[in-house]
Structure formats: C-alpha cells, structure tokens
Amino acid sequence: MPECSWPGDDEQYRQYHDNCWGMPVVDNQELFAKLCLDGQQAGLSWIIILRKQSEYYRLFEQFNPEKIALFNDDKIEQLLKEPGIVRNRLKIRAIVQNARAYLDLSQQGINFSDYLWSFVNNFPIDHQLVDGNDTPTTSPEAIAMAKSLKKHGFKFVGETICYAFMQAVGMFNDHLISCSAHARCQKRAYELFQE
C-alpha cells in the first residue's frame, strides 16, 4: 500500500511522518509549541524548522509560556544571534506575543487544548485522501481558527499556517488512506476521544 510520498527519502522527515504528523495531540504546552513552530515555517519549508526544532525547544524554555512571556528586548536581541533558529525578529517576537496571548486565555479560564479542538468539534476530521495532490491547504475550520487566534492576540496564525498546524496535531487526518500512519492516527483519536 502506498505511503504518503512527501517525506521522500529523508530519514528525519520519514520519522516525523511515521510517528508525529497527524497523531492527535491534546497537551496544552505541546499544542502551544507546535502552533509557534508552524508559525516559524511561514515562507519556508517545514523540514527547515524540523531540523531546528531541538534548538527552538532549548532557546525558548521548552515552550513554557510562563517563561517565554517574560522575554524582554534584550533577550530577543540575544535570540537574533542564535544560528540554530530562524533569525527573524517578527517571528521571534511572535513566539513571545503568543505566550502572552496563551496566558491571557488561561487567565480567562480557557483551556488551550479544549479551545483549539473545538474548531473540529472535538474529534479529528478524516479527509479520506487517496491522492496526495488532493490535500487541501485551508478549510473553513482553519479559517475560523485563524480568525479567533488573531482576535485573541496570536501572531503568525494565518489560515494556511493553522491548516498545517491542524494537520500536524491530528485535527485533520490527512495521511493517505493507504498509508499505514492513517490507521495509527485514527486509532489514537478513538483512544483519546471515544473513551
């Protein structure tokens, strides 16, 4: 049975495809990290961010929003000198702003995971793809999420970024139905949401 072809022969990309991409995520901090990392790929390919992911985790306090929210201008200047991440001032500032927006939601009593998963009615949407060329790049759910996140003060969360994020964290199962990862992601979704 054909697997998804987009990882190609790259071992790191293949491991990401097989074990992470499309696997439902419900942990608040992991969702925050993935949303921020997807924002970093704007204008770039995901493999670039994937290769830099460990440095992002190291430099951004394991994506702990409480710690990132305290980053000041001096800290941002330090980060702009780090070769292990994308040295783009707007993108670095976006992670700090996103941490503050995340904390604002939390202070309003909004659980980040519940908030994000509500855009797909708390269960992954399976697009039943048979051809990778049919993979969408946006959807009504991604458009709604982008609009809401922006309203709450998040940055680098356009509809295309939100769609990629939703694929990555399993809100959409966009593995080909013939791909072995499709069934693994589906099984995990039932374990999480249909108990």
pTM attached to this predicted model: 0.96
Structural domain containing residue 131:
23-193
pLDDT beyond 90 at 6 = yes
Q: What percent of the chain has pLDDT over 70?
A: 99
Mean pLDDT of the chain: 97
pLDDT digits (tens, 9 = 90+) for 127-176: 999 999 999 999 999 999 999 999 999 999 999 999 999 999 999 999 99
Q: Dump pLDDT digits (tens) for 38-79.
A: 999 999 999 999 999 999 999 999 999 999 999 999 999 999
Q: Considering the domain boundaries, does residue 13 fall inside one?
A: no
81-108 pLDDT per residue, tens: 999 999 999 999 999 999 999 999 999 9
Q: 61-99 as b/e, with b when 16 or more CB fall inside 10 Å?
A: eebebeebbebeeeeeeebeeeeebbeeeebbbbbbbbb
Query: Does residue 195 have a pLDDT over 80?
Result: no
Domain membership of residue 189 (yes or no) is: yes
CATH code for the domain in which residue 171 is found: 1.10.340.30
| Residue 172, in any domain of the structure | yes
Residue carrying structure tokens 């072809």: 5
The verdict on residue 18 lying in a domain is no
Count of the separate structural domains present in the chain: 1
Is residue 15 a part of any domain in this protein? no
Q: Is residue 55 part of a domain?
A: yes
Residue 17 lies in a domain: no
Q: Look at residue 5 and tell me if it is in a domain.
A: no
Q: What percent of the chain has pLDDT over 90?
A: 98
